Each structure stands twice: as structure tokens, then as C-alpha cells.
Amino acid sequence: MKKLVTLFGIILLLISAGVRASDDAFPHRAKFKHVPIMAPEALHKDLDKIILVDVRSRYEFQTLHIKGAQHIVLSREKLPAAAAALRAKSSKPIVFYCNGNSCKKSYEAADLAIKAGITDVHAYDAGLDTWTKQYPDQSVLQ
């Protein structure tokens, strides 16, 4: 019986370590729980049905970005108005992205848009790193 309890404890420890590892993979999700997330596969499938916005620096965008993405600088003063202008032109979902899972710019951009009253906003938090590995043909390198 003692071995069974020990084994059960080890299993619980391994399971909780696995949960922590997946949380660690996206360290900013906990802070931005209200921001809907778009997975790489969903983004790829719906790429022509969304407005995709890169919120990295202009230099980063000009160097490499997802095909069809627009660039908006992440700025508390400018992003809400720019996102509102996108929404005025289209009712498509707006998806913000940045470099990767440890970057929080996509969440911050979505948060600013949501707080400005813009609906159907998402963060693609796997970012450009994951995208270029999975979909190199849908990436633009200049």
C-alpha cells in the first residue's frame, strides 16, 4: 500500500510539472486571460479571413513577417485608433502577433484594442518563430 501511495504521489508530481511546463511555454497568458488566443493551425486555416497585424518594430517587420500582415507599432496612444480604423473597414477578426511565446506585445495590443471597445480581437501568441518553422511558404523575408 505504501508503494502505491508513493507511486501515486510521483504521478501527481509529474503531472503538475507537465502543467507548469506548458504554462511556462506561454508565460504571459496568465496575465492576459481575457485575450482570446489563436493557435497556429487556426491562423493558417483562416489567414484569408482575418486582419493580421504585426506589432513588432518596423525594422523587424521589414525583415521578416507573415504574408499578408499589416504593421502597426505597439503604442498606447496610436494602436487603439489604428485598430478602430481597421475595424471600420472590415468586420473580420483582428489578430495581433509578435516574435513568439515569450513576447507579450501581441497580448498588449489585443488588450488595448479590447479596452478601446473593439470586438473580435485575438492574439497569436505562438508568434513568428513558430510560424516560420511551420509555414515558411507563408513567411516574407526581405
Q: What is the pLDDT of residues 75-118, one digit of tens each?
A: 999 999 999 999 999 999 999 999 998 999 999 999 999 999 99
Is 128 found in the same domain as 87? yes
Give the CATH number of the domain where residue 117 resides.
3.40.250.10
Distance CA 38, CA 92 (A): 14
Q: Which residues contact 55 (CB under 8 A, 6 or more apart)?
A: 71, 72, 73, 74, 79, 96, 97, 98, 105, 106, 108, 109
Is 67 found in the same domain as 112? yes
Q: pLDDT over 90 for what percent of the chain?
A: 80
pLDDT at 24: 76
DSSP of 45-74, one letter per residue? HTGGGSEEEE-S-HHHHHHEEETT-EE---
**Residue 70: other Cβ atoms inside 10 A:** 14
Query: 88: closest CA among 113, 71, 124, 54?
Result: 113
Is 58 found in the same domain as 11? no
Whether the per-residue pLDDT at 18 is higher than 70: the answer is no
Is 39 found in the same domain as 22? no
Query: 91: closest CA among 50, 123, 52?
Result: 50
Q: Which domain holds residue 113?
A: 31-141
Q: How many domains does the chain have?
A: 2
Is 40 found in the same domain as 9? no
Is 38 found in the same domain as 4? no
Taking residues 113-138, report their average pLDDT: 96
* Contact of 55 with 96, CB cutoff 8 Å: yes
Q: Which residues contact 85 (CB under 8 A, 6 or more apart)?
A: none
